[in-house]
Amino acid sequence: MDDRGAIPGAAGLVLVDGVSLFRPEEQVFEAMLEGFANQQLARNLAYSTVQAREHQLRAFAGHAEAFPWLWSPHLADEWFSDLRAVRHVTRSTVRSYQVAIRGFCSYLTDPAYGWASECERRFGTHPIQVIHEVNAAAHVADSEAEPARRAFTRAELQELFDHADDEVARKQALGRKGWLPAFRDATIFKIAYGYGTRRTETAMLDAADFGRNPNGPEFGDYGICYIRHGKAQRGSPPKRRSVLTVWAWTSEVLEQWFTEIRPCFGLPNNPAAWPSERGLRVGPQQLNKRLAGYRDALGMDPALEFHSLRRSYVTHLIEDGWDPRFVQEQVGHNHASTTSIYTCVSSDYRTRTLRRALDAMVADALNPALKPAESNPTGGTQ
């Protein structure tokens, strides 16, 4: 190998030159996966992303029953057809698999890493790119969420919170230890809605992530929620942001949790806002499971999920007349178009908005002296 062999992921760094391999096909494939992982880590990709892609590559190799130097576009097309027609995976899942395979093939065919020449020497053939523009899923929509995914209505949200509180009271009346985790989960659902946080952002909150807002002293010690594990862009660390408390009940829920309930867990040195009975903090999957259990017990739409709490936060703020730019900053969206996708305003809100606009048009027609600049279809005056 030349001096290019020092590149993270190069064949010369994961395969010992001049040594015969016991199972060359299997060992070279494992070395390729190891090298690809090293290359991705050098690009600052998250461990979870690297591990997920390795899983996807192994799945493709198993379905194709071939090693990477024998892969072809035909094998890729067959696999994606199977994923869509048999396993009924989502469009975003198919595209994530294609991203993994395309990246892996680009890595293998790059001369800088030496895998093509290594395969030629050992197997008499070399890997090629199997994902091209003609067989790759295009990402043309801002959101690929299933159409059924939506926000909770206000009535559904109240019903969910009431049911969660009733579960706490029921277990406490029966003398069961499970009332503490039930209280924790009920609080989590309310806070996820109260700040519009994602699942992982919510689970990763610490007790120290809440603070005072000098411009909102009425919220006490819970005027701001500091998000330290926001959704990261590719190759970047988690995105931080601060979310301002907008509803008085949010600070009241947090005050009760941190002063009365959380100390009952008996974990004074645990920094997590939501401690677990078996670990440092409650996991995102557990939150999904508990919310789904409550939803199903109430006979609600199966499309409602933990992320629906975030959709509800955006929707209800917009319905209540909050500035869209403020809402965008609160939820950490880079673009207003992303926030608009989350907005599932009710028919009542649209009816009120239309009525205000029509009333303003009638007022303008009846009073020509009114300047156009003074008319505001949102109901106020400029």
pLDDT tier at 349 (50, 70, 90 boundaries)? low
- What is the value of pTM for the model shown? 0.69
Q: Catalytic site residues?
A: 198, 231, 307, 310, 333, 342
Query: By three-state DSSP, how is residue 229 classified?
Result: strand
Find the DSSP H helices in 44-90: 47-64, 73-85
pLDDT tens, 221-272? 999 999 998 887 766 778 899 999 999 999 999 999 999 999 988 877 899 9
Q: In Å, how far are 317, 325, 336, 347 from 340, measured between CA atoms? A: 12, 11, 6, 16
Amino acid identity, residue 381? Answer: T
pLDDT tens, 33-85? 999 999 999 988 888 889 999 999 999 999 999 999 999 999 999 999 999 88
pLDDT tens, 268-313? 789 999 998 877 899 888 999 999 999 999 999 999 999 999 999 9
pLDDT > 90? residue 339: no
Written as one string, the DSSP assignment of 121-159 is HHHS--------GGGS----SS----TT--PPPHHHHHH
Average pLDDT, the chain: 86
Q: What percent of the chain has pLDDT over 70?
A: 84
Q: Are 129 and 286 in contact (CB under 8 A)?
A: no
What per-residue confidence (pLDDT) applies to 4?
A: 46
Euclidean distance between CA atoms 274 and 283, whole angstroms: 9
Roughly how many angstroms between the first and final C-alpha of the chain, as a whole number? 71
Sign of CA dihedral 103, 108, 111, 114: positive
Sign of CA dihedral 245, 247, 249, 250: negative
| Alpha-carbon dihedral 65, 69, 70, 76, rounded to 10 degrees | 70
